[in-house]
Amino acid sequence: MRHCSVQVRGLLTREELDRYNGLIEAGTYLEDQSRYDLAYHVQKEIDVLILPAIERLKDKSRARDRATAEYLESLRAVEEDEDED
């Protein structure tokens, strides 16, 4: 089974995380039993389950990028004010 990243796992809700852990456990069991045909479907379900957390991670990244841009713009404004003096 392919695990999602720690960052994505950290953004799963409690309900999503419980479901994720259960699916990983079931998928691992199926792989141990060489039932890769069934494990494939479990992995697909995991991939769908983590999509909202991936979007939350992207939103956090975009917000951080906006905050960085605003900070850099404020630094430029301060430099311009100092140059005018």
Dihedral angle sign, alpha carbons of residues 67, 69, 70, 74: positive
The low-confidence residues of the chain, meaning pLDDT below 50, are: none
pLDDT, position 85: 63
pLDDT, position 14: 98
CA dihedral 63, 66, 70, 76 (to 10 degrees): 140
> What does 33-50 look like in DSSP terms, one character per residue?
TT-HHHHHHHHHHHHHHT
- Quote the CA–CA distance of 38 and 30 in Å, as a whole number: 7
Question: Which residues have CB under 8 Å from 61's CB, separation 6+?
Answer: none
